[in-house]
Amino acid sequence: MASGRVTVVVRTKNRPVLLNRALENILGQSYQDFSIVVVNDGGDPAPVDALADGYRHLPAGKLNVIHHPQSKGMEAASNAGIAAATSEYIAVHDDDDRWHPDFLLKTVGLLDGKAAAQGVAVRTNVVYEEVRDGAIVETGSFAYWPDLQAITLTDMLRINRIVPISFLYRRSVHDHIGFYNEELDVVGDWEFYLRFLQAYPMELLDDEPLAFWCQRPEASGDMGNSVIAAAAEHAKFDSLVRDAFLRREAGKTGVGYLLYLAQLSGQQEEAAAEARVLADRVVSTLEDLSRRVSALEETVVRRTSVFEFVGRPARVAARLWKSRRQV
């Protein structure tokens, strides 16, 4: 069993270069009352064990490894890591993401200071990177939801506002809302946050960015990010999650008002489609007018040039005639 007030669950699969950086990042935290559970979800165990052997000097229980012989999915990996711990707090730190050195110090400090708070998210930066010859090279970054002032259920219903690397929460919430949904290949974190926000408010630590969501847009396979490499799967499971919540609600209240909302939504979609057609017509008309204006400008330029050419000898002759009369 993992020890420490915080359990950091690290999900990994065939990415030793990223896992090595993640372990160094976690062990470099200014707050040290934590343990790490690495869950190797169906990847080659040898590189993971080799990395773990390099940390044998750590206290017992500081670094723990679980191997899944076959992949069970990201959410099953999270649940396996949580089940291996009895800590007060949980954080999911995927092998390709990073924390600011004070992430745990500040998030644990906030939850320790607010007994009613059950979870806290931090401001996050998206970091673009590439792996070149075994080295991780950063290629760009930007703030993720920089204008976010609070994390609310209203916003979360529309779109996910945080990612696992951004969040620390009390392990006891699982006793109330359950664990991660292992039936979801992707978007399991978002579905968990929806259940979390139905039960509890979510704190936002309005500080400098303390989490870094690292993405490799050009990578695929094990080195890719699911949100990019599996975009179609995200769209599919987003719809399935929404449908599951809707069916539960319909089972409680019936589908009467849902039928009305569906009709209203359909009317809005039709109006939006008509607006797009009208906008396309306006753009086409403006482009046609622009072409006509350009053609007229060319005609005016040509005619002006001809008048100048024809008129120049006449002007010269007029000057000569005027000069002759003066003589």
Task: Give the whole-angstrom CA distance, residue 236 versus residue 186.
Answer: 9
- pLDDT tens track for 289-311: 888 898 888 888 877 665 555 55
Task: Give the whole-angstrom CA distance, residue 46 versus residue 1.
Answer: 22
- pLDDT tens track for 49-76: 999 999 999 999 999 999 999 999 999 9
Residues 162 and 24 in one domain: yes
Please list the residues that pair with 132 across neighbouring strands.
135
So what's the pLDDT on residue 251?
A: 86
Task: Give the whole-angstrom CA distance, residue 94 versus residue 77.
Answer: 11
Residues 288 and 157 in one domain: no
Residues 269 and 237 in one domain: no
Mean pLDDT to the nearest integer, 158-185: 96
Does some domain include residue 320?
yes
Residues 95 and 19 in one domain: yes
What strands lie across the sheet with 6-12, from one edge to the other? 63-68, 34-41, 6-12, 89-92, 167-170, 119-122, 203-205
* Mean pLDDT value across the chain: 89
Does some domain include residue 1?
no
Contacts (Cβ under 8 Å, ≥6 apart) of 272: none
So what's the pLDDT on residue 322?
A: 60
Contacts (Cβ under 8 Å, ≥6 apart) of 306: none
Residues 20 and 38 in one domain: yes
Task: Give the whole-angstrom CA distance, residue 245 versus residue 153.
Answer: 13
Residue 109: count of CB within 10 angstroms of its CB: 14
Task: Give the whole-angstrom CA distance, residue 290 versus residue 212.
Answer: 47
Domain assignment of residue 307, given as a range: 255-327
- pLDDT tens track for 238-256: 899 988 998 888 888 887 7
Decide: 77 and 11 in contact? Cβ < 8 Å. Answer: yes
With CA atoms as reference, report the closest residue to 34 among 79, 109, 87, 102.
87
CA 89 vs. chain centroid, Å, equals: 23
Among 196, 231, 253, identify where a domain stops: 253
Residues 144 and 195 in one domain: yes
148/262: higher pLDDT? 148
Residues 138 and 247 in one domain: yes
The amino acid at 262: A
Residues 171 and 297 in one domain: no
Q: How confident is the model at residue 265 (pLDDT cuts 50, 70, 90)?
A: confident
Q: How confident is the model at residue 105 (pLDDT cuts 50, 70, 90)?
A: very high
Task: Compute the C-alpha angle 193/81/209, nearest 5°.
Answer: 50
| Domain at 227, CATH number | 3.90.550.10
Among 253, 270, 303, identify where a domain stops: 253
Residue 313: is its pLDDT beyond 90?
no
Among 234, 253, 272, identify where a domain stops: 253
User: Beta strands 63-68 and 34-41: pairing type?
Assistant: parallel
Task: Give the whole-angstrom CA distance, residue 77 versus residue 186.
Answer: 12
So what's the pLDDT on residue 180?
A: 98
Please list the residues that pair with 170 across neighbouring strands.
89
Residues 23 and 135 in one domain: yes
Alpha carbon distance, N-terminus to C-terminus of the chain? 119
